[in-house]
Chain A
């Protein structure tokens, strides 16, 4: 279990507890948190669960793979700290994680 804080583009914070093993994307969907669409359902075939990960967390989460980086090319305004939240799997180590959702996904 980890406390994950989803911060909207406008800075609104929403902290929820997400069970280990779920993705940060699923954590958002199950808690009705807006800003993450996840059109493809987590198969890394779209880029609509795109989030920004603050610098202090970016290196702590599992490293990004090429396929995810490729998919991020298709995201809305990707940046250096962009990730797909379907690829961030929750564990105790991520307790306190903050992510920022982009202005929009599509």
Chain B
């Protein structure tokens, strides 16, 4: 069991800056995120898109912001626990005990939920039978490409993931690349490679087609795809790989007894505490009159939540407000050399 002062759920910009604020006031924290890297929506949804409303930063991309925040919190050595989701929480006296889907257990008097719109999950195929073959013949990511040798693989999607895997797996397999419209979205050289492979007969490109049905009882034997004009075509397939991006799901947070209003958690704007003592919510996931879903609001919310955590983490100490410019304590915590 990992014991700390505060557990932050969500490694997006808001969660990371909350870690900074906790560090500044001398509290330790652990950060948990379902994605396998820090950055949240900034890194998953718009790593290359410029953001223009971070105070004092005229322009930066989602990736640059993430990297700057990681650097900013470096002195506090917050531990990141990535690729795992908090599944359960329970209360023991004044402490919250959290358990992730990887079996890690944490204990702290404070939880800061900075979960954005929820945890990212792959968007799945909408055909009912897809569930039956998920994990055996249908995949939403590739973890072991050695599985695919001399197989017939149908790849769905029109973006980089679909295109890159079509190219990679076409070296040893028969690939059908299926997309709902004729345009693909990818780097120019990727698109020209796909065209070349299509010409060479290495990749069969099917557009504009959608998945219509999945065939096979115990094992999937093939699929039917439907053209925009309504005509059907049968494709033999040992595997389906589907890349329709990520969706955000609130997930287990909804079952923790927190008040929830339209996928958001109402908070007290003095402390950003929820209806549960010691559980705070900041960033896109919290709501209050006037709430703005901006990164800069998340920073403010994290700063206040961190101060509120102090009382529960160090009940016998008095919190004293200090500026980073002048405080020797803070300089020590930051490792500032004179």
Q: Which residues of A contact B (CB under 8 A)?
A: 37, 39-41, 43, 45-48, 66, 69-70, 73-74, 76-78, 80, 106
Shortest CB-to-CB span from A88 to chain B, Å, is 19
Measured CA separation A70–B293 after assembly (Å): 24
| Contact among A37, A45, A77, A80 with B46 in the assembled complex (CB-CB below 8 Å) | A45
Contact: B245 with A47, CB < 8 Å?
Answer: yes
**Closest-CB distance, B96 to chain A (whole angstroms):** 27
In the assembled complex, B45 has its CB within 8 A of some CB on chain A: yes
In the complex, the answer to whether B180 meets A73 with C-beta atoms within 8 Å is yes
Q: Rank and list the top 7 A-B pairs by shortest CB-CB distance, nearest first.
A: A74-B245, A45-B45, A106-B247, A39-B117, A70-B185, A41-B293, A73-B158
Contact B117 A40 (CB under 8 A): yes
On chain B, the residues within 8 Å of A43 by CB distance are: 46
Interface size bracket, B side: 20 to 34
Also in contact, A106 and B123, with CB within 8 A (given A45-B41, A74-B245): yes
Q: A39-B118, A41-B293, A80-B228 are in contact. List 19 more A-B contacts (CB 8 A).
A: A37-B263, A43-B46, A45-B45, A46-B45, A48-B247, A66-B183, A66-B185, A69-B183, A73-B159, A73-B181, A73-B185, A73-B245, A74-B123, A74-B245, A74-B246, A77-B210, A106-B123, A106-B247, A106-B248
**A74 neighbours in B (Cβ, 8 Å):** 123, 159, 244-246
CB-defined A-B contacts under 8 Å, sample of 6: A46-B45, A48-B247, A73-B185, A76-B126, A106-B248, A106-B249
- The smallest beta-carbon distance between A48 and chain B, in angstroms, is 7
CA of A77 to CA of B244, assembled, Å: 10
B residues engaging A (CB < 8 A)? 41, 45-46, 49, 117-118, 123, 126, 157-159, 179-181, 183, 185, 210, 228, 244-249, 263, 284, 293
Residues of A contacting B181 in the complex (Cβ-Cβ under 8 angstroms) = 69, 73
Given A40-B45, A41-B293, A73-B244 contact (CB < 8 Å):
yes
Contacts of A47 in B (CB 8 A): 245
B81 to chain A, nearest CB (A): 24
Residue of B at shortest CB range from A43?
A: B46
Nearest Cβ on chain B to A50's Cβ, whole angstroms: 11
Give the complex CA separation of A49 and B158 in angstroms.
20
Contacts of B157 in A (CB 8 A): 73
In the complex formed, the residue of A with least CB distance to B249 is A106
Q: Contacts of A46 on B, CB cut-off 8 Å?
A: 45, 117, 247-248
**A5 CA to B263 CA, complexed, in Å:** 24
Taking the closest CB of chain B, its distance from the CB of A38, in whole angstroms, is 10
